[in-house]
Structure 1
Amino acid sequence: MDIPVFILAGLLVHCVFLVSIFDIYFSSPLVHGMTPQQTSLPPPAKRLVLFVADGLRADSLYELDSNGTARASVLENNGSWGISHTRVPTESRPGHVALIAGFYEDVSAVAKGWKENPVEFDSVFNESKYTWSWGSPDILPMFAKGATGDHVYTFCYAAESEDFGAEDAAKLDMWVFDHVKSFFNSSRNNQTLFSALNEEKVVLFLHLLGIDTNGHAHRPNSREYQENIKQVDEGVKEIASLIDNFYGNDGKTAFILTSDHGMTDWGSHGAGHPSETLTPLIVWGAGVNYPQKVTTQFFEDNFLKEWKLENLKRLDVNQADIAPLMASLIGVPFPLNSVGTLPLEYLNTSALFKAESMFTNAVQILEQFKVKMSQKKETTLSILFTPFNELQQYIQSLKVSLCKTLINLALEGLSYYHTYDRLFLGLSIAVSFVGWTTYVILVIIKAHTNLTKTVPTNKKKSTVLFYGFASAGMIITFFLLIQTCPWTYYIYCLLPVPVWYAVVFSFFYRSALTVGLLVFAGWPVITQLWIQAKVLYCFGQHVALSTYVVGSTHNSLKIKQGLPVMNQIISWMTLVFSPALLLLSPTFLFERLFSILLSLMSTYLLLSTGYEALFPLALFGLMFVWINMEQEALQHYGLSLKPKVTLAVFNFTCTMDITQFRQLHLDDVRRSFFFVFFIVTAFFGTGNIASINSFDPASVYCFLTVFSPFMMGGLLLLKVAIPFVLVSCAFEAVQVTTQLSSKRYITCCISALHFFFLVKDYGSWLDIGTSISHYVLVMSLTIFMMVMNGLAQLLTTRRLGLPRRNKHHSM
């Protein structure tokens, strides 16, 4: 096996380890093939109006305003109220999917698309006779694309309207209200539309994004956010009155006002803070209970006294429970993949209707359980299949009054079969982990120590070893084949075979370790620069300009004049040209490292909102100390093969003889751990990429203010990467000044196996994201170190030259 093959094999193994968690922990929970379930009794409402105030916190709506009056005017006299508890990630797409489809999207689905549907799913809109919706182009299309037939209609404003730097984002909500009014007015002159509006099972959906946009731009405690809530409240009252009048006050319209998620005090969302997960829910109209007076009620959050709502019964729900509530009110089948439980206390109907609806809810969830069980039973050997006995036993003694217990058991059964193969696959990956780590440790020991001796070649033993592992592979393949397992299972289960074969083989055959000796052998010879020239040194001016742009931009946004075009141009030009400009600086160690710092600092400044801009400066100051400390340690232990190098005159482009690289020393282990420590420090220094709400959305305002999730996310990733690049360049300096090849630095990440079993697919988005990021960070070190090593070499050794003009002397 030559060097490229060995490196490729290592990369492939680590890629399998890396992606395995998404197959094991984050596969889609959705199943298909269920029979739709609906209540046979007449529903209380003919139509439903859903208002979703994007980004509206529960406390912001329920608390009294400065005049001591409630902001939600429909609360006290019209209907029931409570708090809708969202799950994480508290983002717009998963929040709306939970509200309208009744299930919580898994992390992988959220990552695959913002507007598109990674997996087909059913929704209340799809089950309706007609649905008309108004609002954001980021939300409405996903429910229209997931619907069968042509009965879900969308009316969206332009994506450019979602501008965080706009004068007043409340105009987005005014656009929705105005277009709904025009829609009903025009329907009187359109007989086809008028007839459709008078059908049963009709849904009207108003997505109101202004509050969320104002919250991002000005924070939830701002005057803009609070005023927007008042405007929405007035608009909801006006639209409700308009619709009641349109239908002649027939009492057949149900109204729901809620939110997809809340928002932190600093204007972000995505994690599990109560300000993000507690959203308002107010339901009124046909089939809904009137406000219920109570003398006492208790909730741990103690909000009731603060909101002056102690005497109105509070009815809390999970966000996914709203979908079966909507389906029950208008008599459509419950969404097929809904995991919500119908909140009966909101209904003002007969006891029979409640019982029928609850039973329908239970059967609908039980249908999912049956399909999930059937799928798992078909792909598992009968002797290995273990049924979920608790539910089977309960069904035999089922009574209608116990439907809630049935629903809970069915949901437990769904989770049981969804995670049925997790232990099996996890153990396969764990065995591969241990095998690969053992192999790498063995390579290092035999390549760089004198603890082992050459073992004679034994062809007979080699043949037995090969056929033994080959037989094991065939048995595993046959086992997976008869169970019709997915193709990814073959990779996870067969990977331990070649890995452990390499481990066992390397114990007996020294020649097999030649590749290890070659991989760690030497440092590539760095060639001289292709041209020598003088350079302009203008990084200080770039940093000053970036500082001015940040201040100017935020002042402009503060007075609601938007993002200045010139500032935007300067920001993008700085982002593009700064990396190229640093290549014009000299390649002497301190000069080049200082140029890298100033160049990347100019971009980092544009992505900063305050004192965090000092983090790269402080981090790189620590890197300079580290470089000097390692050089002194090398001289102290007498490991240097050359006279003491003065770092001030050290040139990254000096040609180095790979035969001069020394053997490993105990200090080199410390250097590796220092490097990993600084990498983690750089990665999480100013924010945790696992949780989007650890970053201020204002970070990207110098580049764009119009909502663009992938562009904004890319800029935030760049912000995270800049300190990472600084540490990598410093480590490059440590490597070349201590005369140690980078290819001898292989970190045996035993901790990766530990993090593999700590990966979570439940809890807050922060918990889930942190568990993933820990595993990905550790697993990515081997892969990412190669990439960053190449980037660091490029940034430290390459230099662009300006063309020289040849001088011509006259004769």
Structure 2
Amino acid sequence: MNMLTFFAVGLMVHLVFFGSIFDIYFTSPLVHGMTPQQPRLPAPAKRLVLFVADGLRADSFYKPDANGSTRTPYLRNVIEEKGSWGVSHTRVPTESRPGHVALIAGFYEDVSAVAKGWKENPVEFDSVFNESKYTWSWGSPDILPMFAKGASGDHVYTHTYPAEDEDFAAKDASKLDTWVFDEVKNFFQSAKGNETLLSQLHKEKIVFFLHLLGLDTNGHAHRPMSRDYLENIKIVDDGIKELVSVIEDFYGMDEKTAYVFTSDHGMTDWGSHGAGHPSETLTPLVAWGAGVQQAERVTAQNFEDNFLQEWKLENFKRLDVNQADVAPLMSSLIGVPIPLNSVGVLPVEYLNSSNHFKAESMLANAIQILEQFKVKMAQKKATTLSFLFTPFKLLPESEQADFIRRARSLIQHGNYHQAISVCRSLMSLAFEGLSYYHTYDRFFLGVSVVFGFVGWTAYVILMILKTHNSLHKPSTRKEKVSKDALLPKVFVGISLMIAFFLLIQASPLTYYIYCLFPVPMWYAVCKEYRTCKELLNSVKSYPLTQSIGLLVMFIVGIELLVVSFFYRAMLTLGLIALAGWPIVSKLWAQTKTRSVCWIVACLFLAMFPLMPVVGREPNINLVTGAGLFSLIISSFFLASLWKAKSKTSRNWRDFEVYFFQMLNIVLCTFVVNSTHSSLSLKQGLPLFNQIVSWTTLASSFVVPLLSSTLLLQRLLGIFLSLVSTYLLLSTGCEALFPLVLSWLMFVWINMEQETMQFKGMSPRLKLSNIDFSENIDISKLRQLRLDDIRRSYFFVFFIVTAFFGTGNIASINSFDPASVYCFLTVFNPFVMGALMMWKILIPFVIVMCTFETIQVSTQLSSKSLFLIVLVISDVMALHFFFLVKDYGSWLDIGTSISHYVIVMSMTIFLMFLSVLAQVLTSKRILLGGKLKLHFV
């Protein structure tokens, strides 16, 4: 199998394994076909007003300021005099879309749906808005449209401002909120002269939704502790006070309006959100008006946190809810069916109504949850053979009916509290059943994926051994024919049996892929049974202690990388251990200068994993320092190249490219400082800075191809291009990371040259004379050695260090949105996400180009070393697959899944980056008369 074919097959295999996690853990929880549960009793409110202050933290809202005064005098008065309050607990990911879906639709949207877009709905879902008679909404174009598109009919009306207004560099982001308040006031004013609208506004079961994005925008731009953010809270409070007055006057103080104020998610001190920190998952909830329980004074409350004393609210009853519980609360207040897919439990403590109404509402909630359970069970039963189907034993059909009958009987006899208790028990069992059927096929799919994963890894190991060791001995023709003829028939039979089993169960197409994929993997392994036999015989010839020692070292090395995903400080320990490599390998005696450089570079790089990944304040001085260091390093490097060449061999065009790149670093350093200064003064992002930033990004892929393909010169060109882009994406100490990493990578290249000489394998050429573009089949020059496993491990270790050196990619909120402000400040999640992803990949490319250099300089084919890397990374991925869990906190569940996704993504990226590294190092654009790409 040639390299291109192997790359294609390997990519397909890893894409399948990567996709499997979404079918196993990220499947949509939604089912369809349930019957809406219409409330039996009249609702206390005719209309509902929902205020969602995007990005508002609970502590920022409730906690008094330094003087002991409240920032929200109106809502504070509501809490103390006429409403109910508490904390709404969100789930991860703490982002705007899933937060609003939980609030308005009552279910926690799966991550795969979040990844598909902010505005479009990957799946249709029911919501409070959809069940209402009419809904009018004002706010962000990123949130409002998804609820209008998910509604049946044409009764959800949206009013949004232009997307360009969501600018993190705006002078005053609170204008997003004042725009909403002004539009709503104008709406009610205009309704007085519009008979059709006036008639609609006096209907029952209507909703007004005000999405207030100013706090989220100010929090990202200035941090939640900033004056801008805190003053924005006051603006929201004033706006709500004025708007409530307008609404009450419009409806003649009929006391039939219910109000709910909350937030979709919080925000960390450093201005980000997405993970499970309490500052992100604790949001305020205040409800008042028609049907809402009025403020209740208490003498003592039992909560594990100390917020009550801190917020000065210890004497006012606190009622906490899960975020999805807000949807059934709003439905009950205005008398519409609870959204069909809601998993929220009605917080009856918030209702100021008869016990009969509370019991009937809870029963409707319980039946709505039970309907989902029934549909889920029926779907799973229809796609499973009857003798293999195992129903959820805690809630059989007979007990379902008993629960309903018992609850109705208790309500009829006036035992409302007991009826509510029965409904809670029914919902608890139904939730367990929903989880049971939602994860019904998880074990089956997991076994299939693991079986295929092990088969693939075994095949890669055999491929390495077969290519680089003389293990395979030709067997007799008779033995070969008999075994080779039987093997395909056996595996074809297995494939047909699996396909037939899946067919009669009406399994989804993806199930065929996961279950049939291991078959060709293991067929390829079994075809090499003679290689396996010889391998076992050769292992027996090795001393037992040596074999065990190598195995232990391999396992410890892999575990160090696995643990580093949880504790970044492990990378520091690993780098300290790597610093001792020249001493352990006895290279110290041969080259003291380079060994000292290696040790110092390892120790410098070891400091970065100890630095905090979150909460860092921007420090543009460090970015400026990184730019100056880059210029100094490149100047010395360029001077040495200049001296190493005679006057006749100097290529002026190459040096012109380097000078241009160095000038670009100066310009990028200026742009970073200028942008930071402009945003601090709230003057927006200068157009010149934006043009320079995007031009630098685009040219960083092309300019290195203009330089010479000689090893040292090409590496300099790549370094200068990548560093200039990285500077534009930096806000502090992380700007120094690629400099230190590049230093260590350069020393590593030289150390490997010394290692070759130390092992008695003289390098083909000196580093300065190696040309990347030379088309030499170096795979024929030597076989794999144990030292190549060490090289491959170093590479994987440095890749993981590049991943976690300046941030924790497993946590969304460890990357500061301010990193992209040189490119754009208007909210665009996909462009911003792509830019931050490229920032993450730049250290990857540095390591990848280094590895490409080592492959060339150590006279070994890229395919051979890459296969070893593939085995190491796949073993890590398999380890993380077993660490995935679906219990515990939602943060633990999300983290365990993200680690597997990261390792799989890393493996897939490495395949692409290996191609990118080859292009960056070996291809050249010649400017001679006309532009052409030089392939030699």
Of the three residues 510, 513, 516, the one matched with 1:491 is 513
- After TM superposition, the structure 1 = structure 2 runs for residues 343-492 of structure 1, keeping only pairs within 5 Å, are 343-392=347-396, 394-395=399-400, 397-398=402-403, 399-400=406-407, 401=419, 402-457=422-477, 458-492=480-514
Bigger drift between 64-73 and 224-233 goes to: 64-73
Cα distance in 2 for partners of 1:647, 1:508 equals 41
Shift of 1:6: 4.7
Picking from 799, 810, 815, the partner of 1:679 is 799
More moved, 495-504 vs 779-788: 779-788
Contact 2:7/2:911 (<8 A) preserved: no
Pick closer, same or farther for the CA change 1:770–1:725 going to 2, 3 Å: farther
Q: Deviation digits for residues 561-597 of structure 1, max 9, x if unmatched?
A: 1111111111111111233222222333223212211
1:260 to 264, 270, 277: 264
Deviation at 1:509, TM superposition (A): 8.3
Partner of 1:579: helix, strand, or coil?
A: coil
Matched, 1:251 2:251: no
Residues 166-205 of structure 1 mapped to structure 2, 5 A cutoff: 166-205=170-209
Q: Hey, what does 1:652 align to over in structure 2? A: 772
Correspondence 1:234 to 2:256: no
What does residue 808 of structure 1 align with?
Answer: none
Once the 2 structures are TM-superposed, how far is the Cα of residue 762 of structure 1 from its aligned partner?
Answer: 6.7
1:359 to 1:436, Cα distance in 2 relative to 1, 3 A: same
User: Residue type matched to 1:647 in 2?
Assistant: L
Quote how far apart the aligned CAs of 1:468 are: 1.5
Task: Structure 2: give runs of 5+ residues left out of the alignment.
Answer: 408-418, 536-650, 931-936
- Tell me how far 1:804 sits from its aligned partner: 6.7
Residues 535, 584 of structure 1: 8 Å contact kept: no
> 1:517 maps to what in 2?
none
CA deviation profile, 1:38-60 (whole Å, cap 9, x unmatched): 22100000000000000000001
Aligned length: 786
Shift of 1:433: 1.2
Given that residues 50 and 209 in structure 2 are in contact (C-alpha distance below 8 angstroms), is that contact kept between their aligned partners in structure 1?
yes
Question: Which letter does structure 2 place at the counterpart of 1:733?
Answer: T
The farther-off stretch of 645-654 and 201-210 is: 645-654
SS of the residue 2:146 aligns to: helix
CA–CA separation in structure 2 for the residues paired with 1:217 and 1:647: 47
SS in 1 for 2:395: helix
- Displacement, 1:498? 1.6
CA distance in 2, matches of 1:780, 1:240: 50
Whether 2:736 is the aligned partner of 1:731: answer no
More moved, 264-273 vs 386-395: 386-395
Give the match's secondary structure for 1:282: strand
Equivalent residue for 1:88? 92
Amino acid at match of 1:233: D
Specify which of 474, 480, 505 is matched with residue 527 of structure 2: 505
Q: Compute the displacement of 1:299 (Å).
A: 1.2
Q: State the superposition RMSD in angstroms.
A: 2.1
1:554 to partner: Cα distance? 0.9
Q: For residues 466 and 800 of structure 1, what CA distance do their matches in structure 2 show?
A: 49
Q: Partner residue of 1:703?
A: 823
- C-alpha contact 2:291 2:333 (8 A) present in aligned 1: yes
Report the equivalent of 1:27: 27
TM-score, normalised by the number of residues in structure 2: 0.81
Q: CA deviation at 1:649?
A: 3.7
Q: How does 1:660-671 map to 2 (within 5 A)?
A: 660-671=780-791
Deviates more, 1:757-766 or 1:351-360: 757-766
Superposition pairs of residues 559-570 of structure 1, within 5 angstroms: 559-570=681-692
Matched, 1:44 2:49: no
**Per the alignment, in what secondary structure is the counterpart of residue 304 of structure 1?**
helix
Q: Does the 8 Å contact 1:752/1:779 carry over to 2? A: yes
2:676 to 519, 534, 554: 554
Amino acid at match of 1:456: T
Give the equivalent residue in structure 2 for 1:622.
744
Give the % identical residues.
67
Which AA in structure 1 matches 2:233?
I
**484-493 or 689-698, which deviates more:** 689-698
Letter in 1 for 2:52: V
- Residue in 1 that maps onto 2:558: none
Report the CA distance between 1:461 and its aligned residue: 2.5
Instruction: Give distance in 2, aligned partners of 1:543 and 1:288.
Output: 61
Find the counterpart in structure 2 of residue 759 from structure 1: 884
Q: Tell whether the 8 Å contact from 1:587 to 1:796 is kept in structure 2 after alignment.
A: yes
Specify every segment of 5 or more residues in structure 1 that has no aligned partner in the other structure, as ranges: 514-530, 806-811
Q: Deviations over 1:67-93 (max 9, x none)?
A: 422233232112000000000110000
Structure of greater relative contact order (alpha carbons < 8 Å, 6+ residues apart)? 1
Q: Give the direction of change, closer, same or farther, for the CA distance of 1:509–1:550 in structure 2 (3 Å limit).
A: closer
1:320 paired with 2:320, answer: no
Deviations along 1:597-648, one digit per CA (max 9) or x if unpaired, are: 1211111111111111111101111101211111111111113364xx3323
Structure 2 Cα separation of the partners of residues 85 and 593 of structure 1: 51
Q: Which moved more, 1:684-693 or 1:175-184?
A: 684-693
Kept after mapping to 2: 8 A contact 1:689/1:717: no
2:46 and 2:334 in contact (8 A); partners too: yes
- Does the 8 Å contact 2:169/2:221 carry over to 1? yes
Separation (CA, whole Å) in 2 of partners of 1:99 and 1:780 = 32
Cα deviation, residue 753, structure 1? 1.6
Q: Which moved more, 1:170-179 or 1:398-407?
A: 398-407
What is the alpha-carbon distance in structure 2 between the residues aligned to residue 54 and residue 780 of structure 1? 31
> Which SS does the other structure have where 1:82 is aligned?
strand
* Mean CA deviation greater in 648-657 or 763-772: 763-772
The alpha carbon displacement at 1:426 in A equals 0.6
- State the one-letter code of the partner of 2:679: L
Residues 659/115 of structure 1: CA separation in 2 closer, same or farther (3 Å cut): closer
The structure that is helix-richer by fraction is 2
